[in-house]
Chains A and B, each alone.
Chain A
Amino acid sequence: MFITRKSINRRSMLKGLGAALSLPLLDSMIPAFAEASNAPIRLAWFYLPNGIDMRNWTPPNEGTLPADLPNILAPFSSVREDVTVISNLTANWGRPLQIGAGDHGRALAAYMTGVEVYRTAGADLKLTTSADQIAARANGHLTTLPSLEIGLEEARQTGNCDNGYSCAYTYNVSWKTDTQPLPPISDPKNLFERLFGSDIAEPPAAHARRLAMRQSILDQVLGDTHKLESTLGPSDKRKLDEYLTSVREIEIQVEKASKSTTVIDPGMEKPFGVPPEYADYFRLMTDMLIVAFKADITRISTFMIGREGSTRAYPEIGVPDGHHPLTHHMGNMEMLEKVRQINVLHAQAMAAFIKKMKETKEGDSNLLDNSLIVYGSGLSDGNVHTHDQLPTLLCGRGQGYINPGRHMIYQRETPVANLFATMLDRVGVRPEHVGDSTGELAGLSLNS
């Protein structure tokens, strides 16, 4: 058999005047005879603020996940064979230790760095490189964006947000260096521009003109699109069409959100152009993440579901109170119930994202199978600020590495960084240290 197919470079882009759009993974990008596992593994961390109502999170038994998952995890029932509940992990440096108050600042800052959080409300921040950025440093050169930081609350970088801990600690989960946090993008429009806008600086006048004419970014790259289509087979043509359609759909959603005049009281600083309802906001941002993963714009992401200590209210589900004040329920059942409702709302949004990842085909597999996605927090009980027995859900299979559908209970005090070290190992990144990790998590893989 003769092999005549010419492969397209994975990093090819559709280019136009002042615009460039990454391409999804096409069959033509996979060299002939290449293994099906050529698709990269994506890593993502979704951070939950304020802990979880653990009574409604933890499955009662170790082993295969039952069909009737605990209430907060119930939204994941239909994908339970693709997720792993991991119990007993600890973020030790989130604890009060000799310092005292400031659990929210430490919870987030220590979660993915695994080191002591230097208490300051000034500019003299001190932490270390977070797990995602260790991966980005090693593998980021392989994609257009080394990593992508997304959040659903506008990030503050200065000021005292928690008992002498800088707002930089409570708003940023990703840290590029000891002193440099990577603020999450919370504005859908900015995220869209970051992903699909341009590598090439669009001249301001052209940018303004495109916006005024309500031109799609797809119009900008139309010529290149036609050229590429003429070289593709039917399968790739369909994939490209699906991809461009999804980009356009997101673009329309972003445009719609930016024009929304709906007034809500989310109890937080609402970024301009944000969908008023939480679920819509979450979906819009994760839709973009899926496209970014599919198009291999990035392979590494963090996603702040809320900043640590978030006071966001959720009037759309009948919870007009702030999240953080509710978590200090002191056993008040009414407040606990509202916390549970917020936890369920977050889980529903996350589960919908996970399902969409699974439905997104990639070669013979799907995006979820080729991913390792953490859904977790640096706090377990938000009422008393415990930093052990953390809620942790690992979604995906890491390309056949993980044997999911189980509840794994590790020894207590096992650093959550051990999970992150395991994830990094899966993408070939093996630094000397990953925070306070003491090793990898045994038993997660099919072979252990």
Chain B
Amino acid sequence: MQAPRNQGPAPVGIVYNTSMTRPDAALALAAMYPMEGNRESHMGSVCVVGAGFNAAVFCDIISRLYSFGTRNGNSELAVGLAVESGVPDSPMVKRAVEGAYKRTLQRVSDTSEPTAVLRNGVIFNSESVVILSGPATYLAKSLDLLGTKDLYKQRVKRLVIVDAGVGNKDAAALRKVIAEWPTPIFFCSKEVGEALRFPGADLDKDFSWAPAHPVVDAYKAFKPMPWDAPMYDVAATHYAVHPDSSFFELSPAGTISVADDGAMKFVPGSGSVKSIGIVPTKKADLLAMLITAATAKPVVPAPPGRGGRGGSGRGAFGGSGGRGVLPAIVAQ
């Protein structure tokens, strides 16, 4: 449900297409919920593509940990899952999924159909942004559904395509998305993510507000500590929601070249895609802000018209993150 028109602009919806196989994806998801609490954005849907059931469970655990109330007529956030044979479960999420966190998803049929959840996530909000980090298979498929291209044209402000240096596992689908997407596309290159690294040594301290935290579990499970994870998806999320912040600069228009193995490269020239770059003088501030955002405590959603976007709250990406902190966020 949207805020009434006379109570400030509605937060922009986020549709997140992820494989949830890297710590930056977990950090990005953790950043999205405090942003929702501060009415900077609103979760439309999360769709896991290119990973097994446990990756969807992990997203569900994060959702349960951070969010409250009902959404879109459903009792929980819809977590899409591309059910594909032979896709292994991500070792990163194993510890969190086997932990004692609350979860809604018990079986694959509790997840949502991927194409529908991507489209419906856009329908749920009057304005949305789409972050494409996982394989583009279902986002491409959604473009062929009845009226969906027009829907995206009307409601999606921008698509941010993330390059985490591992290539997109569905090169053909990614090419289709780039060719047919009806609104502006921005490319968040691997250089951006690699320049913005989460300080692994601070992980426990930054999440010390929770006795146990699934993101901490996932981060530590990914590879031996300490290590500093590139924040590919966190940076892309920030740009998607706050494109007019002063931290980033845009390249001249071009396109994204996609190799058969899914490797991406921004090619200036013909095309309308713009590549995101970090303003060199703002890199330290940007890094600090992204770390704060990714480790922010959950907040009770502000009532419409009070602390809305552009209102009094600074928001998770604004760094305050403290308004209306809920007391009961421990793992149960």
Interface contact A100-B112, CB-CB below 8 Å: no
A433 close to B (CB within 8 Å): yes
Query: Would you call B78 and A412 a contact (CB within 8 A)?
Result: yes
For residue A275, CB closer than 8 A to chain B, the reply is: no
B146 within 8 A of A: yes
Residues of B within 8 A of A66 (CB): none
CA distance A432 to B83 in the complex (A): 24
Q: Which of A62, A98, A100, A413 meets B78, CB within 8 Å?
A: A413
| A 409-422 binary contact with B (CB < 8 Å = 1; else 0) | 11111110000000
- Are A411 and B72 in touch, CB under 8 angstroms? no
Q: Tell me how far the C-beta of B125 lies from the nearest C-beta in chain A, rounded to whole angstroms.
A: 8
CB of B113 closer than 8 Å to a CB of A: yes
| In the complex, residue of chain B having the shortest beta-carbon distance to the beta carbon of A388 | B74
Which of A6-14, A35-43, A88-96 touches B? A88-96
A413–B46 Cα distance when bound, in Å, is 12
Bound Cα distance A90, B113 (Å): 10
Quick check: is A435 within 8 A (CB to CB) of the other chain? yes
Question: Are A411 and B83 also in contact (CB < 8 A) when A88-B109, A433-B145, A436-B145 are?
Answer: yes
Q: Is A114 part of the binding interface, using a Cβ–Cβ cutoff of 8 Å? A: yes
B8 to chain A, nearest CB (A): 15
Residues of A within 8 A of B147 (CB): 115
The answer, yes or no, to whether A387 is at the interface (CB within 8 Å) is yes
Chain B neighbourhood of A413, CB < 8 A: 78, 80, 112-113, 116-117, 120
* A438 beta carbon closer than 8 Å to chain B: yes
Q: Within B92-127, which residues are at the interface with A (CB < 8 Å)?
A: 107-113, 115-117, 119-120, 123-126
A386 proximal to B (CB < 8 A)? yes
- Which residues A367-396 have CB closer than 8 A to chain B? 385-388
Interface centre among A62, A90, A387, A411 (most CB of B within 10 A): A411
Contacts of B126 in A (CB 8 A): 98
The answer, yes or no, to whether B1 is at the interface (CB within 8 Å) is yes
Q: Which residues of A contact B145 (CB under 8 A)?
A: 433, 436-438
Residue A3 is within 8 A (CB to CB) of chain B in the complex: no
A330 interface contact, C-beta 8 A: no
Instruction: Check if B306 is an interface residue, CB within 8 A of chain A.
Output: no
Query: A415 to B78, alpha carbons, bound, how many Å?
Result: 14
Chain B residues with CB under 8 Å of A90's CB are 116
Residue B81, interface by CB 8 Å: yes
- Please state if B73 and A388 are interface contacts (CB–CB under 8 Å): yes
CA–CA, A433 and B119, complex, Å: 15
Chain B residues with Cβ under 8 A from A412's Cβ? 78, 109-113
Which residues of chain B are near A433, meaning CB under 8 Å?
Answer: 145-146
**Measured CA separation A436–B126 after assembly (Å):** 18
**A97 interfacial by beta-carbon distance below 8 Å:** yes
Residues of A within 8 A of B2 (CB): 98
Q: Are A411 and B109 in contact (CB under 8 A)?
A: yes
Q: B115's contact among A87, A95, A98, A438, by CB below 8 Å, is which?
A: A438
Among A92, A98, A114, point to the contact of B120 (Cβ < 8 A).
A92
Q: A436: which of B1, B73, B78, B116 is its contact (CB, 8 Å)?
A: B116
State whether B112 touches A411 (Cβ < 8 A).
yes
Find the A residue at minimum CB distance from B141. Answer: A438
Cα–Cα, bound, A4→B230 (Å): 82
What residues on A are CB-neighbors of B113 within 8 Å? 410-415, 438
Smallest beta-carbon distance A79→chain B, Å: 25
Compute how far the CA of A409 lies from the CA of B120 in the bound complex, rounded to whole angstroms.
20
User: Across the interface, which residues of B come within 8 angstroms of A437, CB to CB?
Assistant: 145-146
Query: Are B116 and A96 closer than 8 Å at their CB atoms?
Result: no
How many A residues, CB 8 Å from partner?
A: 30
**A contact residues around B110 at 8 Å (CB):** 412
- B41–chain A nearest beta-carbon distance, Å: 16
Taking a contact as CB atoms closer than 8 A, the residue among B1, B80, B109 that contacts A409 in the complex is: B109
- In this complex, what residue of A is CB-closest to B10? A98
CA distance A69 to B196 in the complex (A): 57
**How far is A316 from B118 in the complex, measured between Cα atoms in Å?**
47
* Min C-beta distance of B204 to chain A, whole Å: 35
- Complex alpha-carbon distance, A437 and B146, angstroms: 8
CB of B193 to closest CB in A, whole Å: 30
B residues 6-61 in Cβ contact with A at 8 Å: none
* Cα(A87)–Cα(B108), bound, Å: 13
Cβ–Cβ contact A97 & B112, under 8 A: no
Residue of B nearest to A411 (CB): B113
- Are A95 and B116 in contact, CB atoms less than 8 angstroms apart? no
Bound form: Cα–Cα A96–B124 in Å: 9
Cα(A98)–Cα(B126), bound, Å: 7
CB distance from B72 to the nearest CB of A (A): 6
Given the interface pairs A114-B146, A433-B145, A436-B145, the reply to whether A97 lies near B116 with Cβ below 8 Å is: no
Cα A388 to Cα B112 with chains together (Å): 11
Q: A97 to B123, Cβ gap below 8 A?
A: yes
A43 to chain B, nearest CB (A): 20
Q: Mark B66-95, 1 if CB is under 8 A from A, else 0.
A: 000000111000101101000000000000
Q: Which residues of B contact A411 (CB under 8 A)?
A: 80-81, 83, 108-109, 111-113
The answer to whether A386 and B74 touch across the interface, beta carbons within 8 angstroms, is yes
CA distance A437 to B144 in the complex (A): 11
Q: State whether B109 touches A438 (Cβ < 8 A).
A: no
- Determine the distance from Cα of A415 to Cα of B116 in the docked complex, in whole angstroms: 7
Q: A415 to B112, alpha carbons, bound, how many Å? A: 10
Bound complex: CA A133 to CA B66 (Å): 45
Distance, CA A392 to CA B321, complexed state (A): 44
| Contact residue among A87, A115, A438 (Cβ-Cβ distance under 8 Å from B116) | A438
Nearest Cβ distance between residue A434 and chain B, in whole angstroms?
8
B280 to chain A, nearest CB (A): 41
For A87, the chain B residues whose CB sits under 8 A away are: 109
Interchain CB contact (< 8 A) of B73 among A62, A98, A386: A386
- Cα A268 to Cα B1 in complex, Å, equals 32
Does the CB pair B146–A436 fall under 8 Å? yes
Is A100 in contact with B1, judged by CB distance below 8 angstroms? Answer: yes
**Which single residue of chain A is at the shortest CB-CB distance from B45?**
A413
B residues less than 8 Å from A410 (CB atoms): 109, 113
Q: What 0/1 readout, one digit per residue, does chain A (422-448) give for beta carbons within 8 Å of chain B?
A: 000000000011011111000000000
Residues on A with beta carbons closer than 8 Å to the beta carbon of B72: 95, 97
25 A-B pairs, CB-CB below 8 angstroms? Answer: A62-B109, A92-B120, A97-B124, A98-B125, A115-B147, A386-B74, A387-B73, A409-B107, A410-B113, A411-B108, A411-B109, A412-B113, A413-B80, A413-B116, A414-B113, A414-B116, A433-B146, A435-B146, A436-B116, A436-B145, A436-B146, A438-B113, A438-B116, A438-B142, A438-B145
Residues of A participating in the B interface, judged by any CB pair closer than 8 Å? 62, 87-88, 90, 92, 95-98, 100, 114-115, 385-388, 409-415, 432-433, 435-439
Other CB < 8 Å A-B pairs besides A385-B73, A437-B145, 5 of them? A96-B73, A98-B126, A411-B83, A413-B112, A436-B146
Top-5 shortest CB links A-B: A413-B112, A433-B146, A409-B109, A438-B115, A414-B113
